[in-house]
């Protein structure tokens, strides 16, 4: 029986956050030597490490991450490895490698090799025509081993708006994609916190 593979980035003192974001902060609230138990306090935004974006991230909505249907982020996924030419992800490769049975698409770019370096945030971009592919195939989730989706030569959040306004959820900062076969079972469960625009997740997959 195949085992679950952890696709989640480890958050620790060495994690280099997105430029301009406040780094997460861990404080000792209770310590065993003094209080006979341990408890830590975490201060962070929800767009750090492996996480999922809710539509509220870029849209003026009342409902947040709690409104996501968990069935949308659990299921069969297909792993696609398109060519990257001049830092642009090849849409035709995505189309040619895709199988219509899958509503969760994982894009493998091997960009995680630069994790915790400045180069990690100089990442490949998509051509706008990838949106047509995602819409035509009723994709529920696009996930990748990069910090964010963006179009070539467009504002950073334009692709976010295009995806999330169509309820195509975004999973960012995956790792260990080299361990995956083309077809996997996938789980990316967000925290259930009212009104939040995204959530840290523990993301796992299992080869089918």
Domains of the chain: 5-207 (3.50.30.50)
Q: How far apart are CA 131 and CA 29, in angstroms?
A: 45
Q: Which residue has the tokens 């492996």?
A: 50
Torsion of CA 7, 80, 187, 68, to 10 degrees: 120
Alpha helices in the chain (DSSP H): 32-35, 91-97, 130-136, 158-164
List, for residues 88-103, the tens digit of each pLDDT value.
999 999 999 999 889 9
Instruction: Compute the average pLDDT of residues 84-89.
Output: 97
The total number of residues written for the chain in this structure:
208
Percent of the chain with pLDDT over 70: 100
pLDDT of 52 > 90? The answer is yes
From residue 18, how far is each of 76, 130, 173 by CA, in Å?
29, 24, 11
List pLDDT tens digits, range 158-180. 999 999 999 999 999 999 999 99
DSSP string for 140-190: -EEEESSS---BTTS-TTHHHHHHHTTT-EEEE-B--GGG--SEEEEEEEE
The pLDDT tens digits of the residues spanning 2-34 come to: 899 999 999 998 899 999 888 888 999 999 999
């Amino acid at each position: 029986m195949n085992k679950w593979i952890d696709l989640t980035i480890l958050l620790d003192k060495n994690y280099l956050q997105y430029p301009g974001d406040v780094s997460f902060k861990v404080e000792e609230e209770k310590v065993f030597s003094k209080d006979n138990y341990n408890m830590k306090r975490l201060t962070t935004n929800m767009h750090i490490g492996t996480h999922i974006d809710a539509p509220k991230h870029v849209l003026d909505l009342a409902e947040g991450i709690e409104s996501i249907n968990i069935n949308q982020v659990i299921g069969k996924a297909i792993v696609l490895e398109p060519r990257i030419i001049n830092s642009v992800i090849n849409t035709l490769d995505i189309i040619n490698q895709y199988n219509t049975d899958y509503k969760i698409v994982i894009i493998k770019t091997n960009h995680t090799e630069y994790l915790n370096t400045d180069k990690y945030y100089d990442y490949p971009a998509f051509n706008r025509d990838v949106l047509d592919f995602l819409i035509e195939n009723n994709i529920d989730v696009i996930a990748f081993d990069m910090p964010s989706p963006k179009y070539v030569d467009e504002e950073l959040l334009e692709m976010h708006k295009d995806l999330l306004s169509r309820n195509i959820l975004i999973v960012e900062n995956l790792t260990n994609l080299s361990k995956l076969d083309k077809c996997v079972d996938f789980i990316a469960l967000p925290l259930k916190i009212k009104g939040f625009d995204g959530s840290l997740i523990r993301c796992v997959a299992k080869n089918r």
